[in-house]
Structure 1
Amino acid sequence: MQKAITLVGRSPSALLTELSNLCLPEPSSKTLLFTLAPSSNVTQRQLSALSTSLTKHFPVHVGCIAAPVPLSGQRPAHCSVSLAFVDGIPFRSTIPGLPETQVGRWHAGRNRSFSESGAHPSDNGSTNLDPADMLGSAFMSDGKIDWEKVWSVPSSSGLKSEPDPLPEKLRNLEPPTIGSIIYFSDKSPEGISRGLQNAFPSAHKLALLASSTPFLTGRPFTLFHNGRVHSSGAVGIAIPSSTPLLSLTFPPLVALTPSLPITSSEGNLILSIDSRNPTRLLLSAIQEKGLSFCPNTTLAGKEGAFYVGVIENDKLSQVHRISSGDPSRGTIALDTNMAPREGSTVRLYHLPKTSNVTTSTISDSTPKRSLSLLVSSEIEPLPSPPLESHPGDCGTVAFDSFIAASENGIVLSPGNSFTSTNMPWTCTVPGGRVTLHWDVARN
């Protein structure tokens, strides 16, 4: 990474003013990786002017519309733009993912549209099986469902297992030469994340799930790639270098239980923790803390949300939100496609609703020459008059750091030297943060 910049300002015009004063690399020398994060009162014309200023000046680029970088002690009402100039191989993916998980059961989901690019699932070397078809094939003659058949389908069903699909630009790369892959995706990243993990096991793969933009641009998501705008799929860049340093940061989660082993799980369900009923274990811990929880629903209690954290080497390596629990059956459903496997060590956690998860993200503690992706809180926009523009009125300028956020979450698949479990997982806990740091001495 040659240069990284994060700007936060009151308006797009303030950001444009700051950008014009920066000494940026020549357009032909690097690939631009960027995110645009407008506040709720930004107009389409203002957003267009900001995106055009970047994409026209740097024709080789990948980017997306994200959420404003949260600042300490205030709502993220400012606009932000994050830029990184890197040597790498940009790519565009139309590899389909899986429908979103629904409270621990298979369901009929939407089929991704490929009309904008003219591509079909077969274009990426895979034939997809819709989850509805999988469920249909599991019906027995008496109308009941053969759940053993359902659960025998691997979590990556819908994706051809051998070989895994890859974007065309990445198919001829030598895996040991790639140290990291950064990409922006819609909310169905399973296809591309699995393909990247199997093809580049030693590289860190990190994705930002782009912010939802139907009321801003008329698209469900807004992705940029070399002069074109896309509504689905993924765009990204593979960076040839040594593998960067990786660090995980989570908000102030409150542990409800000690470390316990997973003794049974299937799909996104935890069936047994330490040979005990998971939901009753959770309810007991909640009662001891004087909190509340609504079982059999997807809603957490008034005090906040509850999570299952995976522990490796006495540190949190993954955190999954609990979407529902059933005291009679004992199962806990997680907001993920795959629950921690049998033998994993976990703790149950609580994130208080009053927790300050919008800690300062632009500070002296942010490593130089780094890239940080974080999960922002979902905040409903408040009606407010447009902010007046003042030349140079930029809240914060941070050089040598790329910082971007999204309310939809981030996907991490660490290289095999970082953890024993390097399969892709999605972090949706507000305040969760992943940072890649390129050590100048190592590259």
Structure 2
Amino acid sequence: MKILHTADWHLGKKLEQCERTEEHQDFLQWLIQKLSAECIDVLIIAGDIFDTGTPSNTALELYYKFLRQVKNTCCREVIIIGGNHDSISTLNAPKELLKYFNVHIVGGVPEVFTDQIIPIANSQGDLELVVCAVPFLRDRDIRLSMSGENSQEREARIKQGIYDHYNQFKEHIASYKAQKIPVIATGHLFAAGSSTSESEKEIHVGNLGQVCGDQFPEEFVYVALGHIHRPQIVNKMNHIRYSGSPIPLSFSEYEDKKQVLILEFTEGELIRIEEHEVPCCRKLIRVKGSLDTVKSKILLLEDQQLKYRLWVEVQVETDSFIHDLDEQLNKLKEGKPFIERFFPRQVRTKSVQTLDRQSEEAMALADLNPKAVFLKRCQAEYGDTIPEDLLETFNEAVEMIAQKEN
């Protein structure tokens, strides 16, 4: 039996205002081909299928079209869990219909705990695998709010709640383990020691909700995780893995190699975990440094012969705002037709202030009115030439607030 593990599709995701639909479409077409080429029996999607709880019609169309195409492959079962970006109701709404096509959906923790346990039979009808399909665990699923608890107590209760949830499966899967039927689990969470990128939104504030690899019961022969967009092994435990996102979702992922994971079982034993690289259709590039440095780096960029043209984030370190940065960058693009667009960022370089100086500024700000604070911030960003349209917008906002208060 072969199982393919993927996660964090984030259908509908935009990079600023730029659509990623074509890239997602290409990935899903490649995945359909991979299911057939590798004779995959079970597909697991470990959360964050959509980027928001209210996905667009385009994102929904991609999703349902893909599930329809899966039926034309040798893949017999699909297991989908909800992530922190997914709406439980959106995922669960068609679950009874999709179950008819062997698509199992666990959008959130169900009322009946054992509804997370999904037995998988082979083509002869013999039970060959059990999946404990654990979705993203929200606070209400794993702990009771306690009045007066501090942050450390809340963190401990969250971690304990996650630990208890997974360990509760032990009594329900004991009979399967006795029959030497492999049991795997899913999860959408943050495992301690994971390397994150800028595109993940924290599931819990700070480090709350981190779990260690050894907190998963040893009864699970594999744990298919989602939420972290960089593919990785958790705490050097080879059987606990993040597949990562299939396309780069932020410029911080520009060096990541995207992949899906394929597990192979023989006679109830996990004999192989293979990493299959997802073809890159569009490269995200990040260059940073002084204006002269980034210009030199851009001039060195070469055509990578990809399906879609490059998107380049340009982080310019500068002492003062560069008003014509866009124009300067666009001139560089004239000789680089393989670059579609730049995403310019101006990073102010400031000298380190003493603590006394910082305290003086904080005290001074406390004595200023909102407009004075705004002007001070603008001067720090733009120098003495503050854009007129920005001032007008601020004045309009202040006036609207005043009208609402009256």
TM-score exceeds 0.5: no
Computing the radius of gyration from Cα coordinates, the structure with the larger value is: 2
Q: Normalization by structure 1: what TM-score?
A: 0.27
Q: Normalization by structure 2: what TM-score?
A: 0.29
